[in-house]
Chains A and B, each alone.
Chain A
Amino acid sequence: MLLWTAISLMTGAAILAVLWPLRSRDAEVGSAVEADIAVYRDQLAEIERDRANGLIGEAEGEAARAELGRRILRVAGEAELLRPQRSDFHRRTVAVIALVLLPVAAGATYLALGSPQLGGQPLAARLEGAPQQNDVAILIRKVETHLEANPQDGRGYEVVAPIYMRIGRVDDAVRAWGNAIRLLGSSPQRQTGLGEALLSQSGGVVTADAKAAFQQALADDPSDPKARYYLGLAAEQDGKPQEAAVIWTRLAAESPADAPWQPLLRTALARVGAEPPPPASGPSAADVAAAQAMSPEQRATMVRGMVEGLEQRLAQDGNDIDGWLRLMRAWSVLGDTAKAKAAAGDARAQFAKDDGALGRIDALSRELGLGS
């Protein structure tokens, strides 16, 4: 708002600068010839002064006076070049230019070039101000200042390292992860962080250093999916696609079906020519194979786990009618009628305003004998 006030005031001042000289009705132009003659008169006076001071001789003075006299005569003989004019048309044109063209052109140019939505951001104010969510640079700077003063604070490095990665300061990220590991000790998260930073540093190549970091992560936690994925990548880059395929297939099989890295794994597997596991919806082939090898109790537990997973998902995001119907049916099949009824009740509450959905819920309740 302040900016627009300032812009308005400035525009007003600029308009005034054009209009002010127009206000006077006096349109007389001083004659150029008069001005010339005035100059020559001054020069004559100066010659007189110089002669009085003895700076030039009598004869020189006389010669100079004669020459100036000739100049005056010549100028006086010149025709008047300029006829003073007065025209309201001129004034009106200029006034329109000042009042309309100037603000419009300036405004349009500024809007095209400027960033009126941005305010000033002096560094001191940014450093002192409340930590805003969006001023990442300042947050980093604060952590850096803190780390300069307390270089042994490993947690500081651990906090800032992923942020460095996010804004592309890869070298700093490598250093920060290295310091975090040095000060806080190794952990799968720190080792994979370091490995990923090294990976970015080398443009996507799993270098020996990066590989060592991932291996260390795996030593700390053999199930760490990131480290396993990147070690697979290392194998692929080493020219051992089969090895990579083995690593990735096992990782895919051992990960939950809806793990976020499953699509990545499928792409990677396709790249090395291995059979990608079936799509993530429903149990994976590995899951099914594992299930077949299980005792009935184990299988029941596994199935129950899957159903509970579905239940949790729906508790978080209930807007999935098919999910609810699947859940009702699952509890019913598992013999837990109470839970099936509860699911039906939750689903009804969720879709209270959706007649079509309510109809389907009622139909399934009847089919499963849950009452309505």
Chain B
Amino acid sequence: MNPEIGHYALVLALGLALLQTVIPIWGAKVGDAALMRTGSSLALAFCGFVMLAFAVLTVAYVQSDFSVQNVVENSHSLKPLLYRITGVWGNHEGSMLLWVLVLAIFGAMVALFSGNLPATLRANVLGVQGSVGAAFLLFILLTSNPFLRVVPAPAEGQDLNPILQDIGLAIHPPLLYLGYVGFSVTFSFAVAALIDGRIDAAWARWVRPWALAAWAFLTVGIAMGSYWAYYELGWGGWWFWDPVENASLMPWFAGTALIHSAVVMEKRDALKVWTVLLAILAFSLSLLGTFLVRSGVLTSVHAFATDPTRGVFILAILILFIGGSLALFALRAPLLRQGGIFAPISREGALVLNNLLLTASAAAVFIGTLYPLALEAWDGSKITVGAPYFNLTVGALMLPVVFAMPFGPMLAWKRGDLAGAAQRLMTAFGLAILAGAIGLYLHGGGPALAPLGVGLSVFVIIGAIVDIAERGAVGRVPLATSWARLRGLPRASYGAALAHAGVGICLLGIVAETSWNSERIAGVKLGESFEVGGYELTLARVEPRNGPNYRDLVGVFAVRHGGVDEGTIESAKRLFTARNMPTTEAGIRTMWFSQLYVSLGEELPNGAIGVRAYWKPLVTLIWIGSVIMAFGGALSLSDRRLRVGAPRPAKKPRVIEPKMAAAE
């Protein structure tokens, strides 16, 4: 397919996005239904053209059309098909296009599934959504155009950054963008409400599913990014407090706060202004993340290219949307009527506590990430804010959040009974102490806080189970009644419990991995053995292997545990020939939830090969817990009440008549 078609589709999409920004909001302003209706068709057309552009670029990659600059710079004809496809977004231009594609899909979904939303709200939401699309398309076309051509076309491309030639690239960025950009919808809702000067009753119940969807995607996206870094970088670390990681963590904190405050708003009509602010903040932090990653302010594997004009452009977008929405908020928020009142000890109170601590965490990460950048911009001095700062601040803030987590769902709305909740959580508390003791017994050598951490994790997991059991009144009423009650429980309740349990599971993984992991760095010759975490590894052989566009040097290790043969682990150093760049392909053996991790280093002068080996107890729980969290979000999202309960507009027969006439 001719790449020019994609280029024109992108230009046309920009035009449509600009119209989508202007016409529906104008219609809402003057109360013209026809104008407001254009929002939906424009959003759909916008999505269609962006999809077309993306498809054309993908075809160019698959067919290795080296007359397209972007393909030349990031592809290679020998690359396997999967990486030719993922290479589309494995670079700056393409990843921005993916960003806009996700935005367009969300916009189209709003257009499709908002039939029962008040017309003005829908028009304003789509208008704001269109403005975000227009800004980013303008950015793409002017500074990061993936459709620029080269004459004459080279016969071969420069290949994709080897670190990105991994299945992770197929999963991590799309999920992360679904999360980042998903918050654009809640942002649009918030700004639309501010433009309108009133918040409809439907507002919260419309915002919550979008926030949940975005949050769930973001959760999995971050987790997958973490796992990818874990196995690809060869250092066995799963979180580095790297600014790019922090950039995704900030909107996650804000989004987590948002899904909780939206509950309060939906159920109790309270915290309206706060929820609007959170919706703005969540997306603002997503934009900030995009800025940090895409502007080249940070140099990392994510900053595919650095170009000052891009940075300035994104900064302008940032200022326009964050500044604009916050200004609008300052102007209009006082007009929004505050809702229901509640006692400090209540479900609402617990959620407010959660919100405060989560936003404080976001602020802590924000400061730790941006302070060094600001300082460097100010007087050129370079400082590093590292793991100790983040562990201390975020850790201290998350500890009460996690501890309070099981209490929240136990409290009643409006006014709750803390003592009662504590009583019901006694089982969880007892089991937590037991788990801590077991941890202490098994791993006496670890840090003193480790058993406490294990106890806390178990408290949260059991607390989630207790929550569901309490709702079913298990043990207090006959079993059949409990069963009926449990079956009648809304999926949102199960979703919440599952997500909370996921937090506990994730925390358990974090505590176990950081406290009790063991590491071994050794220079090993053929036939030599070393021991890590109770496993004996022997370097059995080293052999070269050839891949399609790389060469592997594979080290095969025989694994023995307690004298029993446990098979082999293969770990490789991979050299990508086109860029002459090496990557490590760590050998990982999963045993239950723990992992044995082996990565190859340099060959040493004495003929030995450098090996880093780690024993990581329960490490997989970190990602399993995250996926469970996201799954809980998805379950809550599928709650029937969000669909059946949505208002249906009273359609008059004469609306249908013209359609029937057309059908005849």
Contact = CB atoms under 8 A, between A and B. Distances in A.
Interface string A1-25: 0110011001101100110111010
A121 B35 contact: no
Contact of B35 (A54, A94, A114, A115): A94
Contacts of B2: 2-3, 6, 119-120
Interface in A257-284: none
Contacts of B201: 35-36, 39-40, 71, 75
B164 interface: no
A137 B200 CA distance: 62
Given A21-B37, A105-B15, A85 B650 contact: no
A43 interface: yes
A295 interface: no
Contact of A87 (B32, B141, B151, B152): B32
Interface string B62-85: 011111000000000100000000
Contact of B23 (A18, A86, A120): A18
Interface centre among B34, B153, B481 (most CB of A within 10 A): B34
A8 to B, nearest CB: 10
Given A17-B16, A113-B141, A118 B152 contact: no
Interface string B1-34: 1111101110110111001000100110011111
A116 to B, nearest CB: 6
A113 to B, nearest CB: 6
B181 interface: no
B548 to A, nearest CB: 15
A126 B154 CA distance: 11
A10 B10 CA distance: 11
A114 B3 CA distance: 10
B638 interface: no
Interface in B621-649: 641, 644-649
A89 B646 CA distance: 34
A28 interface: yes
B31 A106 contact: no
Contact of B152 (A94, A98, A136): A136
B246 interface: no
A194 B404 CA distance: 77
Contacts of B644: 42
Interface in B161-184: none
Given A35-B647, A120-B67, A121-B153, A14 B12 contact: yes
Interface in A328-355: none
Given A17-B45, A71-B201, A119-B2, A46 B645 contact: yes
Contacts of A73: none
Interface stretch (A76-84, A152-160, A231-239, A363-371): A76-84
Nearest to A75: B201
Contact of A27 (B9, B23, B26, B33): B33
B539 interface: no
Contacts of A149: none
Given A10-B12, A26-B655, A27-B32, A55 B67 contact: no
A41 to B, nearest CB: 8
Contacts of A98: 19
A42 B63 contact: no
Interface string B200-235: 111001000000000000000000000000000000
A102 B19 contact: yes
A94 B38 contact: yes
A120 B1 contact: yes
Interface string B147-160: 10101111110000
A120 B16 contact: no
Contacts of B647: 35, 38-39, 41-42
Interface in A133-163: 134-138, 140-141
B118 A115 contact: no
B38 to A, nearest CB: 5
Interface range, A side = 35 or more
Given A120-B60, A135-B152, A141-B156, A94 B31 contact: no
B658 interface: yes
Nearest to B64: A123
A62 to B, nearest CB: 13
Contact of B120 (A32, A39, A67, A124): A32
Contacts of A18: 16, 19, 23, 38, 41-42
Contacts of B44: 17
A120 B198 contact: no
B270 to A, nearest CB: 11
A232 to B, nearest CB: 36
A127 to B, nearest CB: 8
Contacts of B398: none
A308 interface: no
B147 A114 contact: yes
A91 B119 contact: no
B41 A21 contact: yes
B645 A115 contact: no
Contact of A35 (B48, B117, B484, B488): B117
Contact of B63 (A31, A86, A94, A122): A122
A85 B66 contact: no
Contacts of A102: 12, 15-16, 19
Interface in A88-108: 90-91, 94, 97-98, 102, 105-106
A220 interface: no
Contacts of A82: 31, 120
Nearest to B26: A90
Interface centre among B67, B121, B414, B650 (most CB of A within 10 A): B67
Nearest to B266: A43
B415 to A, nearest CB: 11
Contacts of B33: 26-29, 84, 86
A123 B78 CA distance: 11
A79 B201 CA distance: 16
A11 B155 contact: no
B485 interface: yes
A98 to B, nearest CB: 7
A53 B488 contact: yes
A322 interface: no
Nearest to A125: B63
A34 interface: yes
Contacts of B135: none
A30 interface: yes
B559 interface: no
Contacts of B45: 13-14, 17
Nearest to B269: A71
A109 interface: yes
Interface in B278-300: none
B208 to A, nearest CB: 13
Contacts of B156: 137, 141
A209 B266 CA distance: 81
Contacts of A141: 155-156
A121 B65 contact: yes
Contact of B34 (A22, A32, A54, A67): A22
A62 B420 CA distance: 22
B237 interface: no
Q: Which 8 A-B pairs have the closest CB atoms?
A: A38-B647, A17-B45, A122-B63, A21-B37, A141-B155, A53-B488, A123-B64, A137-B155
Interface of B: 1-5, 7-9, 11-12, 14-16, 19, 23, 26-27, 30-38, 40-42, 44-45, 48-49, 52, 60, 63-67, 77, 116-121, 141, 145, 147, 149, 151-156, 198, 200-202, 205, 269, 340, 412, 414, 471, 481, 484-485, 488-490, 641, 644-650, 654-655, 658
17 contacts: A3-B2, A10-B12, A17-B16, A21-B38, A22-B37, A26-B654, A29-B119, A35-B118, A39-B201, A55-B485, A90-B26, A91-B35, A106-B11, A110-B8, A120-B1, A126-B153, A137-B154
Given A20-B41, A119-B4, 11 more contacts: A6-B5, A18-B42, A29-B36, A30-B649, A35-B649, A46-B645, A63-B414, A94-B35, A113-B11, A118-B149, A124-B63
